[in-house]
Structure 1
């Protein structure tokens, strides 16, 4: 068993999945341990490496008796990430886990790749949680277990999956009431509603249509309104949505994170395209590039984007050779291969843009005659002469 230590408090954690995949840190609801994710894990492992932990006061982690804060629980998560060798992760928290995840995103934003807030809220009824903490401390968990189960699962799920719900009930009754009450105090004292607008991580808010503990109104809607750019996913489930609808829950996370990766790829491609376009304009001239761009169609647009990114940014943008040398290399290669359309383009652009002189062009074609053959050079001289005559005809007062 793997434990991390935060100020003398042992925290149980487990890392599973293929090395090299992005890490998804999973943070539990109050009253559950890391087994909360057992039904969703098989659907997440194809895309992620899963880092699970038992929240302080739960499962195999220590349960010191004093009240906990969300800040302490978020620091616990950082300690576990450190112990697992994880610098950055996508973080998914359900209920209390979502509150911890939000606090972690505010406490250590650089460690968050993306945030998934499931069946959670930035504000809860303080009086309700004050009473619940007091009840657990004076009467034990048996006094609240029926209400917790009614909030955790929908009636239909309880009817069809007693093996799951009875296990969850037994787990809640077996846990340390001090740990439950101390985490309940963290919920009671939560102060996130005025702070979460500072969260910068890409965020997905998952809510259950049958969730009576943190319903959409007053909870998920507050997250969506206050976290810029947050996306929403609604599942047909009650509070423990990852248990009740594991496939849909995992699908929402996978789709969200994949979308972020595609967006990042698209943004990077756009940056490369713009950089390549600058080089392309410098070498070929604005007029030719504008004509080329205006002739794009749905059929050839991807090809045009590709050559702008790779040919013009990746190759022409390399620092090893200046543009004059690259132009002359292109002239020699297109002569050797008989690529006359490309040959004419680069002869015209080179002479028009001052990329090389006619004498330098002649020397390249003479060299090509030796290594590419006299017939190729003969055609090249004829093609180049036609381009030169065209440029002279376009020059004012040329005659």
Structure 2
């Protein structure tokens, strides 16, 4: 495991990707480690060589007791860059990682080519952090885990992705209390707001629509007002876009750091357009689960489906969504593609894409032209789903 020595601590890092691609340093939020970026890595590695770092106090890095300061954490990053042989790089940081990125740009401008400030702030409430540090020192990170998870993820995403939420909580509970408290002190004592006009170079501010910790109002807007020339992207996400909106975040970072009308940008544009259609038809919860389950092995296949099926086909003007949905049901039932059939039955009925009567007529037609066994199975599968959907509806 690669470690860099910095101010009495060992800092864990991981360098991945093709050597001929531009380097992007990825910094995690407090309460997480470099695995925060896992869901975004397939997309990022298509364009960048990435250097992930476990911030002091988290993950595999040392968690010395005492209070940390931003300049110390920024020094940890430069020590890692030295160990990895990287002179200058773009920095993308989430929450605490964004604060470190600002300190890096101010204290070590020669090492920073651009910064992406993701769901972060330069004006956190010191009293809140003083109380939180005291709570962690008294009761460990488990004492704040449930409240932290509510800030990390939106309720809908957490409910639709229980394994992701549980993993995030486990990692937080496993974190050293003294490491969390030390990093919390850096947030509590942060003093960068008055220095922000001194940041030179490209800056992207990323805010989340459902972020309750560092929303655009009161946080992102102050960064945009203070940093000369900063650009802004607003994502459909809560506080941790690498988990909740990895594809959209990757698109934003690629657009910011690799502008230009190349083939990669064109593919990303088609992907983002297809993703909107996919969400409209299937719903956010299913799409978020699908994106969270991507791996380096299947990511390109998933991207191809999104670009071709969901953008090039579902956006064609010749048929409306209802007709397309019903065609998909007839075809998948005829071919016995029951997983896809169930997906589209559930999405269509739950999202008002068609009625139960529409579904019945399609299955009657399918039974005649594809065979009674196909129709029989389709009716059974659909009836089971209807019962599930009815059971999920709130009662008055």
Query: Following the alignment from structure 1 to structure 2, what is the Cα–Cα distance between the partners of residues 117 and 7?
Result: 25
Give CA deviations for 1:233-292 in whole Å, capped at 9, x if unaligned.
011110011110000001000011122899xxxxxxxxxxxxxxxxxxxxxxxxxxxxxx
Is residue 210–residue 237 contact of structure 2 (8 Å, CA) maintained in 1?
yes
Quote the offset at 1:111 in angstroms: 1.1
Name the SS of the counterpart of 1:39 in structure 2: helix
Query: Following the alignment from structure 2 to structure 1, what is the Cα–Cα distance between the partners of residues 258 and 175?
Result: 36
Match of 1:257 in 2: 257
Query: Following the alignment from structure 1 to structure 2, what is the Cα–Cα distance between the partners of residues 31 and 217?
Result: 23
Match of 1:162 in 2: 162
Query: Following the alignment from structure 2 to structure 1, what is the Cα–Cα distance between the partners of residues 173 and 255?
Result: 35
Name the SS of the counterpart of 1:40 in structure 2: helix
Match of 1:244 in 2: 244
Query: Following the alignment from structure 1 to structure 2, what is the Cα–Cα distance between the partners of residues 129 and 254?
Result: 33
Say whether 1:220 aligns with 2:220: yes
Query: Following the alignment from structure 1 to structure 2, what is the Cα–Cα distance between the partners of residues 150 and 104?
Result: 29
Name the SS of the counterpart of 2:259 in structure 1: helix
Match of 1:234 in 2: 234
Say whether 1:193 aligns with 2:193: yes
Query: Following the alignment from structure 1 to structure 2, what is the Cα–Cα distance between the partners of residues 24 and 87?
Result: 12
Match of 1:183 in 2: 183
Query: Following the alignment from structure 2 to structure 1, what is the Cα–Cα distance between the partners of residues 191 and 17?
Result: 35
Query: Following the alignment from structure 1 to structure 2, what is the Cα–Cα distance between the partners of residues 158 and 9?
Result: 34
Match of 1:144 in 2: 144
- Where do 1:1-399 residues align within 5 Å? 1-259=1-259
Query: Following the alignment from structure 2 to structure 1, what is the Cα–Cα distance between the partners of residues 58 and 141?
Result: 13
Quote the offset at 1:38 in angstroms: 0.1
Quote the offset at 1:112 in angstroms: 0.9
Q: CA RMSD in A?
A: 1.2
Query: Following the alignment from structure 1 to structure 2, what is the Cα–Cα distance between the partners of residues 132 and 106?
Result: 28
Unmatched 5+ stretches in structure 1: 263-399
Count, aligned residues: 262
Change (3 A) 1:18 1:215: same
Match of 1:276 in 2: none
Change (3 A) 1:99 1:260: farther
Query: Following the alignment from structure 1 to structure 2, what is the Cα–Cα distance between the partners of residues 221 and 237?
Result: 17
Change (3 A) 1:261 1:80: farther
Query: Following the alignment from structure 1 to structure 2, what is the Cα–Cα distance between the partners of residues 225 and 3?
Result: 37
Change (3 A) 1:111 1:260: farther
**What TM-score, normalized by structure 2, do the two folds share?**
0.65
Query: Following the alignment from structure 1 to structure 2, what is the Cα–Cα distance between the partners of residues 159 and 143?
Result: 21
Is residue 7–residue 72 contact of structure 2 (8 Å, CA) maintained in 1?
no
Change (3 A) 1:72 1:260: farther
Query: Following the alignment from structure 1 to structure 2, what is the Cα–Cα distance between the partners of residues 261 and 174?
Result: 44
**What TM-score, normalized by structure 1, do the two folds share?**
0.65
Quote the offset at 1:87 in angstroms: 0.4
Quote the offset at 1:7 in angstroms: 2.9
Give CA deviations for 1:159-212 in whole Å, capped at 9, x if unaligned.
111111110000000010100000000000000110111000200000100000
Query: Following the alignment from structure 1 to structure 2, what is the Cα–Cα distance between the partners of residues 108 and 158?
Result: 38
Deviates more, 1:137-146 or 1:244-253: 137-146
Query: Following the alignment from structure 1 to structure 2, what is the Cα–Cα distance between the partners of residues 32 and 46?
Result: 24
Query: Following the alignment from structure 1 to structure 2, what is the Cα–Cα distance between the partners of residues 59 and 255?
Result: 30
Is residue 116–residue 205 contact of structure 2 (8 Å, CA) maintained in 1?
yes
Is residue 36–residue 243 contact of structure 2 (8 Å, CA) maintained in 1?
yes
Change (3 A) 1:132 1:19: same
Name the SS of the counterpart of 2:193 in structure 1: coil
Match of 1:328 in 2: none
